[in-house]
Amino acid sequence: MPMNERTRLKHYWNELYPDTGEGKLNDFLRELEPKNSPPKQAETDWYKDAIVYALYVDLFNKDFNGLSDKLDYLQDLGVNCLWLLPILDSPMRDAGFDIKKYDRIRPDLLGLTADSSREEQEAVFGNFLKEAHSRGIRVIFDIAINHSSDQHPWFLEARKSEDNPYRNYYIWSKNTSLYGKARLLFKGIEDSNWEPNGDGWNYFHRFFSFQPDLNYKNPDVLLAMSRNLLYWQTTGVDGFRADAIPYLWKEEGSNCENLPKTHTIVKFFRAILDYTKPGTLLLAEACQKPKEVVKYMGEGDECHAAYHFPLMPMMFKAIALEDGRPVKQTLSPAVTPRIPANSQWLSFLRVHDELSLELVYVSEEDRKFIHDNYCHQAEWDFRLGEGISARLSELMQRDERKIGLAYSLMLTLTGTPVVYYGDEFGKWNDEKYYAEQIKLTGKDDTRFLVRGRIDWEKLQENLKDEESFHSRVFGMISSMLNTRKDERVLGRGTTGFLLAETLSGEKTEKVLAYTRTLEDEQLLVINNLSSGPINIRNPFPDKDLMLLFPQGFSVEDENSSFRFEPFGFVWLRVI
């Protein structure tokens, strides 16, 4: 390892473990030497041009063989990166975010038995990666680095006795007032961050009680997790979504979120991944305000990318309010700081979780407004009003015009877009799956509504019927994605907002218009957020405009004004 990289890793190590010495680190660094090889491709910022598609392998199409069968579907859809929601071995009490073994995939996803070998796993998974990569599709997956399952061998050993070698892999106390300032993240589901072990001791958890937090104050935990990342990197995985990243380090007297040493841990992970294979994506799942999230990109030396959580609810608010100012305010420098040149935001409308309205990044007023406008059924409520468990089509009351408008915002505003599986054809909430999972897990987690299986036979019938809701949504979204994938400016360009004018010269916020600019290339995007038709003046009357994607849009020739139907939009190239 070059001396500057070795020095950097030692610096991080000594920040975290000043009294430990460097013996274990030096042993670990010697392990890295055989793993390093020149990268096969020079492109290390590929994620800026990605269209990400998030899916559960089993719910999408049974297993990895089924997923391989649908790679042509995904390629035709315009997708070039798959985000595999939890695939690692798990008891599946939290959709796989409760990991039992970090170096194994759930055997059923591979079509293998529980006693199958790691070599058999690598053969099946390796074949899937080969098939995806041959189509220009990269693959990333979730890894929960803050906590494990209570069925993980480490924890099974740890809870046996105080002097067990694995005891210190987790956090234990007889005093449950320790870390008392830490938020209760699952209000209404869990009533404490401490769970009794039955022997007078309690273990600490930030999420479900069956997900004990790992103890990164123990250097063995840092090195074990590093080895897990490196193992999957060597199989050909293109990156990782680091789940629950703000909570890694705990300090008494703090809220145990976003602490400086959490960032040191992330820098350590990034440094080892960059050393062995540059361009391996590290994606931060940090459900925080942008000013905190940008810190997880550091100076280009932490995560490559992060979700823009606050933008998501503001897109919904803008549509309900029929006013673009919530989006403009959220993307202003006052709310969204600049990020390093090699970093990227990921934007999304829906993912596997609820439409999150945590007061971390929305005001009480915003939370109530969005909840009142989109929680159309009482059972969709999540965390006592801090979220809505519903798919995009349900939130938009199955109105394909609103679905298209929401996608226009998400695909063109900033960063790399994330498509949640099934949203491309307007998948509905799955009541049957919700009931099934409550019975299985014993937890009334309304997020199960937004998951559920795809019935491909029924879907194919629906898609053949051009008048069906699912067919109309699919035709629109797939066309949008295939237009978006060829426009590098939308992943890399700057955004400049314009104030639209009606034909009478009145300024209106009912229309959200902006340019996306990259060097000498420029696109103009105009979205009618209102439920009524509107005519506006052409913002660039002296320039030629080429139509890229219209929906509910026309040009009035006599005065070159633009007419938009309710929720209509247009993407134009400025020539």
Three state DSSP letters for 164-192: CCCHHHECEECCCCCCCCCCCCCCCCCCC
Regarding whether 482 and 386 lie in a shared domain, the answer is: yes
Residues 6+ apart with CB under 8 A from 438: 444, 445, 448
In a domain, 423, yes or no: yes
Give the closest residue to 135 by CA, choosing from 76, 60, 87.
Answer: 76
CATH assignment at residue 167: 3.90.400.10
pLDDT tens digits, one per residue of 66-84? 999 999 999 999 999 999 9
pLDDT tens digits, one per residue of 236-281? 999 999 999 999 999 999 999 999 999 999 999 999 999 999 999 9
| % of the chain with per-residue pLDDT over 70 | 98
In a domain, 473, yes or no: yes
Q: Can you tell me the distance from the alpha carbon of 544 to that of 564, in angstroms, rounded to the nearest whole number?
A: 19
Among 178, 198, 213, the domain-final residue is 213
Stretch (H or E) spanning 369: helix 364-374
Regarding whether 443 and 303 lie in a shared domain, the answer is: yes
pLDDT tens digits, one per residue of 283-298? 998 888 888 899 999 9
| Average pLDDT over every residue of 173-201 | 94
Say yes or no to pLDDT of 443 above 90.
no
Q: Are 186 and 383 in contact (CB under 8 A)?
A: yes
Regarding whether 309 and 293 lie in a shared domain, the answer is: yes
Q: What is the DSSP secondary-structure string of 38-55? A: --S-S---GGGG--EEEE
From first CA to last CA, the distance across the chain in angstroms is 49
Regarding whether 505 and 481 lie in a shared domain, the answer is: no
In a domain, 157, yes or no: yes
Say yes or no to pLDDT of 38 above 60.
no
Among 196, 213, 230, the domain-final residue is 213
pLDDT tens digits, one per residue of 137-148? 999 999 999 999
Q: Are 496 and 479 in contact (CB under 8 A)?
A: no
Tally of structural domains, the chain: 3
Q: Which amino acid, 60? A: F
What pLDDT, on a 0 to 100 scale, did the predictor assign at position 559?
Answer: 65
Regarding whether 433 and 370 lie in a shared domain, the answer is: yes
Say yes or no to pLDDT of 537 above 80.
yes
Among 178, 197, 213, the domain-final residue is 213
pLDDT tens digits, one per residue of 223-232? 999 999 999 9
Separation of CA 470 from chain center: 24
Regarding whether 540 and 456 lie in a shared domain, the answer is: no
What pLDDT, on a 0 to 100 scale, did the predictor assign at position 227?
Answer: 97
Regarding whether 203 and 170 lie in a shared domain, the answer is: yes
What does the angle CA 322 – CA 324 – CA 325 come to, to the nearest 5 degrees? 120
In a domain, 100, yes or no: no
What pLDDT, on a 0 to 100 scale, did the predictor assign at position 358?
Answer: 86
In a domain, 138, yes or no: no
Regarding whether 352 and 440 lie in a shared domain, the answer is: yes
In a domain, 509, yes or no: yes
Regarding whether 448 and 355 lie in a shared domain, the answer is: yes
In a domain, 430, yes or no: yes
Say yes or no to pLDDT of 557 above 80.
no
Which domain does 206 fall in, by range?
148-213
Q: Residue 502 has what DSSP assignment?
A: B
Regarding whether 344 and 312 lie in a shared domain, the answer is: yes
pLDDT tens digits, one per residue of 92-129? 988 899 999 999 999 999 999 999 999 999 999 999 99
Q: Which amino acid, 457? A: E
CATH assignment at residue 542: 2.60.40.1180
Q: What are phi and psi of 83, to 5 degrees?
A: -105, 110
Q: Can you tell me the distance from the alpha carbon of 200 to that of 443, in angstroms, rounded to the nearest whole number?
A: 26
In a domain, 230, yes or no: no
The average confidence (pLDDT) of the chain is 95
**Parallel, antiparallel, or unpaired for β 52-55 and 387-388?**
unpaired
Q: Active-site residue 394, yes or no?
A: no
Q: Which of 58, 150, 238, 243 is catalytic?
A: 243
Both tokens of 25, joined, read 């680190």
pLDDT tens digits, one per residue of 145-174? 999 999 999 999 999 999 999 999 999 999
Stretch (H or E) spanning 565: strand 561-574
Q: What is the DSSP secondary-structure string of 76-88? A: HHT--EEEE---E
Say yes or no to pLDDT of 36 above 70.
no
Can you give the pTM of this predicted structure? 0.94
Give the closest residue to 552 by CA, choosing from 573, 574, 527.
Answer: 527
CATH assignment at residue 413: 3.20.20.80
Regarding whether 507 and 471 lie in a shared domain, the answer is: no
What pLDDT, on a 0 to 100 scale, did the predictor assign at position 41?
Answer: 52
Q: Which of 285, 302, 323, 430 is catalytic?
A: 285
Regarding whether 503 and 481 lie in a shared domain, the answer is: no
Q: Are 428 and 395 in contact (CB under 8 A)?
A: no
Q: Active-site residue 509, yes or no?
A: no
